[in-house]
Amino acid sequence: MPEVLIELSRGAIIKRRADGSIDFVSPLPCPYNYGSLPGPRGGDGHPIDAIVLGPRLPARARVDLPVVAEVDFVDEGRVDTKLILSAAQLTSAQARGLVAFFRVYTLFKRALARVRGRGGEISFRGIRRV
């Protein structure tokens, strides 16, 4: 089971960088706990992203849970796989919610990249249960 460091609590709107500065302010509260795996790097060179299902967790909390799915995502032309962790198996309703979330998230990430003058493919390619 991988350890996840929570960076954005479920319901939060402010995403911070590792140094504590504000990365962006979301127009909508995040429906999931979002974090990353300390240490390992993904295809984008950053720590591997993780979504933790379940109740709201405080920022900077560390949790160990099993991976129940992987999100196939491309961010600015680089593979940016995101792990889905949960104490229970992923339900069909949760999977549908994640698909809906990542479809909207993709649009937001494309707009943010344009504002920041960045290019490259940004796409959500699906979710795979593990």
- Residues contacting 58, CB < 8 A, separation 6+: 6, 9
* Listed ranges 4-8, 35-39, 113-117, 124-128; the one with the highest mean pLDDT: 124-128
Residue spans of the domains in the chain: they are 3-129
pTM score over 0.85: yes
Quick: pLDDT tens for 49-80. Answer: 999 999 999 999 999 999 999 999 999 999 99
Res. 1 pLDDT band, cuts 50 70 90: confident
Res. 15 pLDDT band, cuts 50 70 90: confident
pLDDT given for residue 43 in this prediction? 79
Rounded to the nearest integer, the mean pLDDT of the chain is: 93
Q: Does domain 3-129 have CATH number 3.90.80.10?
A: yes
Reply yes or no on whether the pLDDT at 41 is more than 90.
Answer: no
Asked if residues 66 and 129 have their Cβ atoms less than 8 Å apart, the reply is: no
